[in-house]
Chains A and B, each alone.
Chain A
Amino acid sequence: MSDAAHAHDDHSHGHPSGIMRWLTTTNHKDIGTLYLFFAFIMLFAAGSMALLIRAELFQPGLQITNPDFFNQLTTMHGLIMIFGVIMPAFSGFANWQVPLMLGAPDMAFPRMNNWAFWLLPVAGLMLMVSFLLPGGAVAGGWTMYPPLFIQGGISYDLTILAVHIMGLSSIMGSINIATTILNMRAPGLTLMKMPLFVWTWLITAYLLIATMPVLAGAVTMLLTDRNFGTHFFNAAGGGDPVMFQHIFWFFAHPEVYILILPAFGIVSQVIPTFARKPLFGYASMVYATASIAILSFIVWAHHMFTVGMPVAAQLFFMFSTMLIAIPTGVKVFNWVATMWKGSMSFETPMLFAIAFVCLFTIGGFSGLVLAIAPVDIQLHDTYYVVAHFHYVLVSGALFAIFAGIYYWLPKWTGHMYNETLGKWHFWLSVIGMNIVFFPMHFLGLAGMPRRIPDYALQFTEFNQIATVGAFIFGISQLILLAVVLKTIKGGAKATDRVWEGAEGLEWTLPSPAPYHTFETAPVVK
């Protein structure tokens, strides 16, 4: 595909070592690693909260938490998983892979890249510390709805500031990624020749730039309502709490696609590699991704059917939401068509990618069910919704992250991971995930509300099954930790290409990828 023009030096020139290397680094690979480790740590923090939630729900009645602490756990689990795990993990992949896939020496703005990352641990720390403050952490739900979010204690201010900081970090990161993609591509690498992962990140970056400022605006108004006597969302002062919900979901629905589009990108890299065939319908994949992104801006009020709105508005948001199934269906069709008659092999990245296609589609279908306004009014705030978005975010986003880790880990570390452990991780994850989240559909249909620490007796069996699944899923993530640490430490030497069917500029580099790459731009033919 290209001339593999790259430097072979595998060290930094006079750069600081130890902790200062990581604090001051402007190297995209270092920063990618930092993002991924940060996401890993936060995954275990927010995952532990999920296990506490599931332990409490093993039986009706209160066992190990009180209702307020339970609400803190659900709120923080959601906030950290979204802003501290999924988003940073995809930023880690973007930092590592985008320059390598484009034949660029680094990101467009390496110093801003450093800032964008180091804002994150500050925000993460602020969120975690809020558990120790008087009144505990925020307990109003990750959606931060007023009036609850206006009435809480000091931890609410801290959380709002943390969201500001994480938003700033995301905007800086997105500007960097979009600018890199638009300006730093190797000669000959036209937009329609870019790997799908780069395309999905370009569109994700635009989504972030177009939605994060809206969230920042919403939480700024919350902050001034709390501290400066304004009444943006205070009905008693002439404000409108429903306005917050509109502004929030105008951000948060595109946010769902921010969390899933890079996952589509990873899966679109993995499947062709292990099917040993080019991606079926490349151009339609690009257009489908762009269509999903555009449609995501006109569907937000499907999260608010129960708030009350004119029937015409309900119909508009119902049908516009259903429309998203078309480009999503195009993508699922193309992944299946790529595998069709391919010389497939089933290494761990491919297993996670196939599980992604099957299970994400289940999450997509339950989303379609929830898009139907009269059905949503019945299922709103039940466990059906919890089942739906966990199928999208766990077997969707998280499984794609796992696929990406196994896929690129040999390129990053220079060592092959342990395939047996990888397969154990896959099977325990996929079985555990289904045991925990599939019964939640039944719980929701039977009317169990979400965000409650106690429940009626008839929900006990499905809750017990879900809790057993949660512990299987949770504990199996320790296998991933062991695999990653073991692979960093040593293992069989990875070849440059690593995978027989791998295509793209990153595979022309040695494994591990040298500290500085593509100092002279390669030419893509």
Chain B
Amino acid sequence: MRNGTGGEMTGDGTGMADKGKGKYRTAILLAVFAIGLFLFTLFNGLE
């Protein structure tokens, strides 16, 4: 079964630790998007 972010879900407690690796990827993608949007807004203001 997929968990929506590409990580495989397992039926025991160790699954949570495996999924922990995916959380950094998700968070970094979201943070980069947010910073990009902030800079894009400023760039638009300069136009």
Cα of A178 to Cα of B23 in the assembled complex, Å = 10
Whether a CB of chain B sits under 8 angstroms from the CB of A104 is yes
* Chain B residues within an 8 Å CB radius of A220: 38, 42
Cα of A209 to Cα of B35 in the assembled complex, Å = 9
Contact B34 A171 (CB under 8 A): yes
Whether a CB of chain B sits under 8 angstroms from the CB of A210 is yes
Contact B30 A521 (CB under 8 A): no
Cα of A218 to Cα of B11 in the assembled complex, Å = 46
Closest Cβ neighbor of A520 among chain B residues: B13
Count, A-B residue pairs, CB within 8 A: 100
Contact B31 A175 (CB under 8 A): yes
The A-contacting residues of B in range 29-47, CB under 8 angstroms, are: 30-31, 33-42, 44-45
Contact B5 A182 (CB under 8 A): yes
Whether a CB of chain B sits under 8 angstroms from the CB of A108 is yes
CB < 8 Å neighbour of A243 from B16, B20, B40, B45 = B45
Given that A190-B1, A519-B13 are contacting pairs, would A108 and B23 also be in contact in the complex, using a CB cutoff of 8 Å? Answer: yes
Given that A221-B42, A247-B41 are contacting pairs, would A185 and B3 also be in contact in the complex, using a CB cutoff of 8 Å? Answer: yes
Cα of A179 to Cα of B27 in the assembled complex, Å = 6
* Chain B residues within an 8 Å CB radius of A221: 42, 45
Which 5 A-B pairs rank lowest in CB-CB distance, beginning with the nearest? A217-B41, A213-B38, A213-B37, A520-B13, A183-B23
Chain A: minimal CB distance from B43 (Å) = 9
Contact A179 B26 (CB under 8 A): yes
Chain B: minimal CB distance from A255 (Å) = 15
Could you tell me how many residues of chain B have their Cβ less than 8 Å away from some Cβ of chain A? 32
Cα of A247 to Cα of B33 in the assembled complex, Å = 18
Closest Cβ neighbor of B35 among chain A residues: A213
Chain B: minimal CB distance from A238 (Å) = 12
Most buried by B among A105, A209, A216, A521: A521
* Chain B residues within an 8 Å CB radius of A105: 16
Cα of A519 to Cα of B9 in the assembled complex, Å = 16
Main secondary structure of the interface of A (DSSP, over half): helix
0 or 1 for each of A171-185: is its CB under 8 Å from B? (1 = yes): 100111011101111
Cα of A234 to Cα of B26 in the assembled complex, Å = 39
Whether a CB of chain B sits under 8 angstroms from the CB of A523 is yes
Closest Cβ neighbor of B33 among chain A residues: A209
Contact B3 A182 (CB under 8 A): yes
19 examples of A-B residue contacts, CB within 8 angstroms: A5-B13, A105-B16, A108-B23, A175-B27, A182-B26, A183-B5, A185-B3, A187-B1, A188-B1, A190-B4, A209-B30, A212-B34, A213-B38, A214-B37, A217-B37, A218-B41, A220-B38, A220-B42, A247-B44
* Chain B residues within an 8 Å CB radius of A185: 3-4, 9
Contact B45 A178 (CB under 8 A): no
CB < 8 Å neighbour of A187 from B5, B11, B22, B40 = B11
Contact B45 A232 (CB under 8 A): yes
Closest Cβ neighbor of B4 among chain A residues: A191
The B-contacting residues of A in range 209-235, CB under 8 angstroms, are: 209-210, 212-214, 216-218, 220-221, 232
Contact B45 A217 (CB under 8 A): yes
The B-contacting residues of A in range 295-316, CB under 8 angstroms, are: none
0 or 1 for each of A126-163: is its CB under 8 Å from B? (1 = yes): 00000000000000000000000000000000000000
Cα of A104 to Cα of B23 in the assembled complex, Å = 13
Closest Cβ neighbor of B9 among chain A residues: A187
